[in-house]
Amino acid sequence: MADSLILQQKIYDMMEYAYLSLAQFPKSEKYALATDIKRCMDAMLERCIEAQKKYFKKTTLQDLDVEIAKLKTYIRLSYNLGFLPPKKYEVWSEKVVEIGKMLGGWLKTVNGHPST
């Protein structure tokens, strides 16, 4: 349970960083790509909270994994289109990768393979 709370906090921290980065997107993208990214991050936070509360977690964690993959793609697209400077891209990507690794450990535990 403590690990899931740490993951939730990591997602929250990543969202705080991301919202500041998204504020610098061009006006034309504020209601397009930026909205898609926000929706994806919201879904990540929701899946994390749902997984904490559910008895059967596997499907919800797999859904969270899908959202993480989508977010990675959105972040890369934002960088390639020039909406994110290299440093923000690097920091944000590192945060998402860390969340993905933590989720991987949680999934292993749920699947009966304790993390070492």
- Residues spanned by the domain of 66: 2-110
| In a domain? residue 81 | yes
| In a domain? residue 6 | yes
Which tens digit of pLDDT belongs to each residue from 35-58? 999 999 999 999 999 999 988 899
| In a domain? residue 43 | yes
pLDDT-based confidence at residue 114 (cuts at 50, 70, 90): low
CA distance 14 to 4: 15
| In a domain? residue 116 | no
Instruction: Indicate which CATH number applies to the domain containing 95.
Output: 1.20.1440.60
Q: Locate 113 and state its tokens.
A: 């393979």
pLDDT-based confidence at residue 3 (cuts at 50, 70, 90): confident
CA distance 108 to 95: 20
CA distance 83 to 52: 34
Q: Please list the alpha-helical segments (H only) found in 23-85.
A: 33-53, 58-80
Q: What is the mean pLDDT of residues 68-81?
A: 97
| In a domain? residue 62 | yes
- pTM for the full predicted model: 0.90
How many domains is the chain built from?
A: 1
CA distance 43 to 65: 11
DSSP conformation letters of 82-95: TSS-HHHHHHHHHH
